[in-house]
Amino acid sequence: MAQVIAPLKKLLHNTLLDRFVDSLEKLTNPEHRWKDWTEELMPLLRDARRDPKRLKALFAAIHKDVFDPKQPGLGAYNKKFAANWEPLFKSAFGADGSTLVRMYVDTSRATCAVYVCRVVSVVSVV
């Protein structure tokens, strides 16, 4: 199956289109993107057969999408949001996601909920 999909992926890959889609996604406020990521994260943390590699990959994707102020092409709001919230994100989940991998579901749910509430409540200040 992978042999069939690989050539199709290569044909469909378009760097310009990928950048355009990424820019469109950045039009969504970062606090909403964070909330969307938490909805994807929670089922992984509930799974009894937790996959640390997948959790770390998701952590990296979340960081890149929402909390990396050094990303090229970020608007002022996204950049300021990332700069303000990256330290808290890393302190809550570890600099490389290692704390996230060790969290239990209840702990991670509480951490995510507190974090989302903090982000949403301070949005008007940012």
Show the low-confidence residues of the chain (pLDDT under 70): 104-126
pLDDT at 109: 57
Is residue 63 within 8 Å of residue 82, measured between CB atoms? no
Predicted TM-score (pTM) of the model is 0.73
Angle at 35 between CA 34 and CA 37, to 5 degrees: 65
pLDDT at 118: 56
Tokens of 8: 């199709």
pLDDT at 26: 87
Query: What's the rounded Cα separation, in Å, for the pair 81 and 66?
Result: 8
pLDDT at 80: 93
The single-letter code of the amino acid at 115 is Y
